[in-house]
Structure 1
Amino acid sequence: MLSHENVETKSGVVEIKEFEVEVCVKKCVDFIYTGDAYVAKEKRETLMGVAHMMQLQRLCDSIAIFLEDDLDPRSFFQTKKIANRYNCKQLEEKCNQFALQRFKEIAQSDEFMDLDEKFISFLIESKKTKAKEGGKCKMLLAWTKHDIDERKECFLSLVMKFQLTKMTLSYRRFLVENEPLIFESMQSLRSLTLSILDSHPENISSKDFDLTENEQLVVFDQTSQRMHCHDIDAKTWTPMQTIDQAIIQNTLHSAVVIESYIYVICRNGSFYRLEYAESNAKWEQMTNTNLQWACVVALDGFVHGIEYQNYSNVLERYDPSNNRWTRLTNKSLILAFESLVAADGKVFCIAGYSNQIGRATNQVEIYDPVTSTWSMDNGSLNEARYQASATATEEGIYVVGGYDNNRGSTLTTVEFRSSVTNTWMMLKPMKNARQFFSSCVIDKKVYVIGGNGNPANIEEYDPETEEWRIIETIQGKDNFPRATVALSI
C-alpha cells in the first residue's frame, strides 16, 4: 500500500475502518516482532479479522489452533462463523466433525436455527451424525419451521433421505397423523405410510413427541452382571448389554450419559464407555483418570469428576473428542462424600464431610467453566449432610437424603435450590431414609434408587403434587448403588 502514490503514503497513517481494534493491531505488530500469538478468548474473532486483513497467515493459523482447543457446544457457532469467514479449512473440518459427534447438544441451541441449508443437509445426510433418525427428523422439523417459507423445499428433499425403518413406529405414525409438512409431499406421506405397514406389529400409539426420546432408568446389576432398563410407565424391566469383566473386577463406582454413550468410572480410576443403543456394542476402555472413587457429572458434553471417598479438592474434566482428562482449578474446601450435580451451566459441589472440623458441612461450592473459577453459593443447605445424592431439572437442584453425623442418623430430608431465587428450601421428606445411593430426573420427576437399608425401593417425587411415592420394589438384583442413570431408549 505504502509503495504507491496515495493519501496513506503522504500522511504516513493507515486508518483501519472496519474494526475497533486498537488492542488487536498492537497484538499483530507484537506478533511480527516476537512470534507470540496468545490472545484472550474474547478478542480472538476481532484479532483473526485484523490478522487476516494484514495477511499474517501464521498468526491466523495460531488463532485457529486456540479455537480448536477450546471448541465446545457453547463456542461452536462462533468458531464455525470465524472458520467460514476467514476460510480456515482445518478449523472448518474440526467444526464439521464436532457437529457430527455432538449433534444433539448443538441442535438444542437457539443458534442452531440460524445455520444455513448446506450445513443442515450435511448433518442430516451424514451417516456419522451421532443421533437417531427420529432425533434428526425432529430437529430438521424445528429448523424448517423457524423460517418455513424459505426452508420448506429443503425439508421435503431431506425427509426422503431418512432411513424410516430406524425411526420408532409410533413416531412415524405421529408424523403421518399430525405433521402438516408431511401432508404437502405425497411422496413422503406414501413412504412413511408404507414403512408403517411393513413394520412388525407393536404397540403403536399416536401420542405426541417432544424433542427428547423415551427416558428410562438404567441400573448395573452385579447378580446378572448386566445392565437393565426400567420403563417407568410400563413398569417393565428389560435386560441390556453385559457389564465388562474388567469393570466388575475394578468395582464400578459411578456412571454418566453423554449423547449415545454411557461412561462408567471404577474405584481405581479406570474409565470405560458403551454405545448403549447398539445391541452388539462392546465396552471400550478410555483414558484412565487420576481420580479415585470418582463422582462424575456431564456438562456441555464433558465429564466432570471429583474424588468422592477421599478428602480432596481436585476437579478433573474429560473431553470425549480427544479422549483426555484435564486437571481444572482446585475448589476451596477439602471434603469427602460430596454431592455433585450440573445445573445452570455450572457444576455444583454440595455439602460433604470435612476432616478438619470432624463433621458434615452444609456449604455449596460452584464451578463456572467459562471463567474456570470456584465460588461459594450465597445460600447454604438447611441441614448439613454427606453421602447424599443430587440431581437437577430446569427449575432447580434437588439434594436428597444422606447422613448427618451431628445427629448420628441417615436422612429422609430433601432440599431444593430454585434456579430463579438461588435459595434453598425444605421439601417433603422421602418415605425411606437413604445414604450412598443414586438419583436422576425423568420427565421432570425425581427418582431415587437404592441406598443403605433400602437397596430395592425406587421412590418418585412429583413436583406438581409435592408428594413422594414408592413405585417399584426391585426383585433379584444387586445394583451398584451410585451408578443408576437415566437415558433415552
Structure 2
Amino acid sequence: MGVTHMMQLQRLCDSITIFLEDDLDPRSFFQTKKIANRYNCKQLEEKCNQFALQRFKEIAQSDEFMKLDEKFISFLMESKETKAKEEVKCRMLLAWTKHDIDERKECFLSLVMKFQLTKMTLSYRRFLVENETLLYKSFEALRLLTLSILDSHGDISSKDVNLTEKKQLVVFDPTSERMHSHDVDDKTWTPMQTIDQAIIQNTLYSAVVMESYIYVICTNKSFYSLEYAESNAKWEQMANANLQNACAVALDGFVYGIEYEKYSNIMERYDSSNNRWTRLTNKSLDMDHESLVAADGKVFCIAGSNQLYRATNQVEIYDPVTSTWSMDDRSLNEARYSASATATEEGIYVMGGYNVDGRSTLTTVEFRSSVTKTWMMLKPMNNAREEFGSCVIDKKVYVIGGNGIPANIEEYDPATKEWKIIETIQGKNIVPMATVAISI
C-alpha cells in the first residue's frame, strides 16, 4: 500500500483496499485501521468505522483497544449505532481511561454524561456510584447518574417539601366520569381529572397510589397510570396485568397484585422502571376475596374464602427480600372474607366482610400490632360492610361504601377508639374497591 500510494497506482491501491476490507476481522482490524489512516483511504476508514460499531465487544477486548486515540473512542461511545449495551460501553471506556488516566480522565468525564444512563442496569449504576472514584471528580456526572437511578423508579418529578401539604381521600365516579377528592377536615369535595374513556369501557376495578401516581386496574386486566398532582396530566396505559379482577397495594416502589374474585394462589409485581409485571412465588393457599395490605416491609394476604365457600381467619405474609411466603403465627379472631384492610405505622386494620358461612355482613374490626404481632378486636363500625374501600389519613382510618348501602364515610380515631360517620356522599356512584388517599 505504501509503494502504490507513493507511485499513485490508484487501481492497485483500490485492489489492496478491497482485499483488506474482505480480510477485516477483530484480529486484523487495528492494523487495517492504521493503514487506512496513514494513507488516507476514506473508503477503508469508513469500512473500519462500521466494523467497529458492529463488532464493538470483540475489538474492545483486545489490548490494542487501549491504544486507540480519543477521537475514535469518542466516535464509538457517542454513536447510536454502536452494537453494545450502555453498561458495556461504559465499562470499556473506564478501562481505556485507566490505561492513561492523567491524559484521558477529562475525556471520560465528558463522555460518561452522554450515555443513556437509564438504559444501564440499576445494579451497574450502583456499582459505579460505589466503586468508581473517577466519577467523584465530576459533580455533574454524579448528579446525572443519581437522577437516572431515581428516574428508573417511575420518572419521579422534582418536588420540594410542602409544609402545607395534606392528604385527601379520592373516589372514582363513573357517573360523572371524574375522580373526586374529599378533605376530611373541612368536609369539602373537589373535582379532579376525568376518568379516561378506555378505563370506563374496560370497567375500573381497583386503584393504588405509588409516589405521585395513581394506578388503576380494570376487570379486563388493563392497567393505567396518572400523575395526579398535574392538573393537565393524561392517563397512560401501561403493560397489562395477568390478573383477573385484581386488587393491589404499593410497597417500596413496586405494585403487588392478586386475583380477588378467583380461587388463586398467584401474586404478581409491577416494576415501573421497565413497565413490566412479573409473577412471584405462589402463595400456599388458593383463596378468593382476600384482603391485601402492605405493612412492615411485607405484603399481607388476610383471610378470604376457601373452595368450600367458607371464610377463613388465616394470614399469609410475603417477604420481598427473600421472595418467600409464610403463615402468620397468629390468626384473626374472626373468620371473614370480602373485608377491607389498611395499615398505619402502628399496625394493620381489618374491617367488615362476610362471616364464616357468608350469611351475615360484619361490623367487626381487628387490629394487628406491629410490635406484638397479635390480633385484637376493636370497637365495631357503625355500618356492616363488605367489598368496600379503606385508607389512612393522618393516622385515622376511613372506610367508604360497600354492601349496597349509601356511600357514607366512617372515621376511626385510634386516640379515642371511636368510629363516627363523617359524610354521606350524594349524587356519586363510587367504585367500591378504588378508594385511595393522596397527598395534595
TM-score of the two chains, using structure 2 as the length reference: 0.69
Q: Counterpart in 2 of 1:238?
A: 190
Q: Counterpart in 2 of 1:42?
A: none
Q: Counterpart in 2 of 1:340?
A: 292
Determine whether 1:133 maps to 2:160: yes
Q: Which one-letter code corresponds to 1:440 in the other structure?
A: C
Report how far residue 134 of structure 1 moved.
Answer: 3.4
8 Å Cα contact 2:168-2:183 kept in structure 1: yes
Q: Which one-letter code corresponds to 2:253 in the other structure?
A: G
Determine whether 1:350 maps to 2:377: no
Provide closer, same or farther for how the CA distance between residues 385 and 221 of structure 1 changes in structure 2, counting only shifts above 3 A. same
Provide closer, same or farther for how the CA distance between residues 86 and 402 of structure 1 changes in structure 2, counting only shifts above 3 A. farther
Provide closer, same or farther for how the CA distance between residues 448 and 270 of structure 1 changes in structure 2, counting only shifts above 3 A. same
Determine whether 1:325 maps to 2:277: yes
DSSP 3-state at the match of 1:410: coil
Q: 1:343-384 CA distances to partner (integer Å, 9 max, x unpaired)? A: 0000000000100x3311100000000000000011100011
Q: Which aligned pairs between 1:374-389 and structure 2 lie closer than 5 A? A: 374-389=325-340
Provide closer, same or farther for how the CA distance between residues 455 and 296 of structure 1 changes in structure 2, counting only shifts above 3 A. farther
Q: Which one-letter code corresponds to 2:282 in the other structure?
A: N
Q: Which one-letter code corresponds to 2:182 in the other structure?
A: H
Report how far residue 234 of structure 1 moved.
Answer: 1.2
Give percent identity, aligned residues only: 69
Q: Which one-letter code corresponds to 1:132 in the other structure?
A: K
Q: Counterpart in 2 of 1:366?
A: 317
Determine whether 1:438 maps to 2:389: yes
8 Å Cα contact 1:360-1:405 kept in structure 2: yes
Report how far residue 81 of structure 1 moved.
Answer: 4.3
Q: 1:175-234 CA distances to partner (integer Å, 9 max, x unpaired)? A: xxxxxxxxxxxxxxxxxxxxxxxxxxxxxxxxxx5xxx3100000001101000000111
Determine whether 1:99 maps to 2:150: yes
DSSP 3-state at the match of 2:305: strand
Determine whether 1:415 maps to 2:415: no
Provide closer, same or farther for how the CA distance between residues 425 and 321 of structure 1 changes in structure 2, counting only shifts above 3 A. same
DSSP 3-state at the match of 1:482: helix
Match of 1:292 among 240, 244, 250: 244
8 Å Cα contact 2:368-2:374 kept in structure 1: yes
Q: 1:11-55 CA distances to partner (integer Å, 9 max, x unpaired)? A: xxxxxxxxxxxxxxxxxxxxxxxxxxxxxxxxxxxxx9xxx9xx9
Report how far residue 93 of structure 1 moved.
Answer: 5.5
Report how far residue 431 of structure 1 moved.
Answer: 0.1
Report how far residue 268 of structure 1 moved.
Answer: 1.1
8 Å Cα contact 1:253-1:482 kept in structure 2: yes
8 Å Cα contact 1:79-1:95 kept in structure 2: no
Q: Partners of 1:97 and 1:295 in 2: how far apart?
A: 30
Q: Partners of 2:123 and 2:289 in 1: how far apart?
A: 31
Match of 1:82 among 130, 135, 139: 130
8 Å Cα contact 2:311-2:336 kept in structure 1: yes
Determine whether 1:68 maps to 2:121: yes
8 Å Cα contact 1:131-1:260 kept in structure 2: no
8 Å Cα contact 1:102-1:130 kept in structure 2: no
Q: Counterpart in 2 of 1:13?
A: none
Provide closer, same or farther for how the CA distance between residues 70 and 313 of structure 1 changes in structure 2, counting only shifts above 3 A. farther
Q: Which aligned pairs between 1:446-457 and structure 2 lie closer than 5 A? A: 446-457=397-408
Q: Partners of 1:280 and 1:333 in 2: how far apart?
A: 43
Q: Which one-letter code corresponds to 2:414 in the other structure?
A: P
Report how far residue 91 of structure 1 moved.
Answer: 10
Q: Counterpart in 1 of 2:104?
A: none
DSSP 3-state at the match of 1:223: coil
Q: Which one-letter code corresponds to 2:249 in the other structure?
A: V
Report how far residue 405 of structure 1 moved.
Answer: 4.0
Provide closer, same or farther for how the CA distance between residues 320 and 229 of structure 1 changes in structure 2, counting only shifts above 3 A. same
Provide closer, same or farther for how the CA distance between residues 382 and 480 of structure 1 changes in structure 2, counting only shifts above 3 A. same
8 Å Cα contact 2:153-2:272 kept in structure 1: no
Provide closer, same or farther for how the CA distance between residues 84 and 253 of structure 1 changes in structure 2, counting only shifts above 3 A. farther
- What stretches of structure 1 move > 6 A for 4+ residues in a row? 88-92
Deviates more, 1:361-370 or 1:87-96: 87-96
Provide closer, same or farther for how the CA distance between residues 487 and 80 of structure 1 changes in structure 2, counting only shifts above 3 A. farther
Please say which structure displays the higher CA radius of gyration. 2
Structure 1 vs Structure 2 CA RMSD: 3.0
Q: Counterpart in 1 of 2:202?
A: 250
DSSP 3-state at the match of 1:352: coil
8 Å Cα contact 2:315-2:328 kept in structure 1: yes
Determine whether 1:280 maps to 2:328: no
Q: 1:115-136 CA distances to partner (integer Å, 9 max, x unpaired)? A: xxxxxxxxxxxxx75243335x
DSSP 3-state at the match of 2:206: strand
DSSP 3-state at the match of 1:82: helix
Q: 1:391-441 CA distances to partner (integer Å, 9 max, x unpaired)? A: 000000000100114261000000000000000000000000000000000
Q: Partners of 1:325 and 1:94 in 2: how far apart?
A: 26
Q: Counterpart in 1 of 2:420?
A: 469
Q: Partners of 1:84 and 1:455 in 2: how far apart?
A: 61
8 Å Cα contact 1:318-1:324 kept in structure 2: yes
Structure 2 spans left out of the alignment, 5+ residues: 1-90, 99-116
8 Å Cα contact 1:381-1:415 kept in structure 2: yes
Q: Partners of 2:134 and 2:269 in 1: how far apart?
A: 31
DSSP 3-state at the match of 1:99: helix
Q: Which one-letter code corresponds to 1:390 in the other structure?
A: A
Provide closer, same or farther for how the CA distance between residues 435 and 79 of structure 1 changes in structure 2, counting only shifts above 3 A. farther
Provide closer, same or farther for how the CA distance between residues 466 and 131 of structure 1 changes in structure 2, counting only shifts above 3 A. farther
Report how far residue 289 of structure 1 moved.
Answer: 0.8
Provide closer, same or farther for how the CA distance between residues 238 and 339 of structure 1 changes in structure 2, counting only shifts above 3 A. same
Q: Which one-letter code corresponds to 2:121 in the other structure?
A: E
Provide closer, same or farther for how the CA distance between residues 91 and 285 of structure 1 changes in structure 2, counting only shifts above 3 A. farther
8 Å Cα contact 2:382-2:420 kept in structure 1: yes
Q: Partners of 1:386 and 1:285 in 2: how far apart?
A: 31
Q: Counterpart in 2 of 1:218?
A: 170
8 Å Cα contact 2:129-2:135 kept in structure 1: no
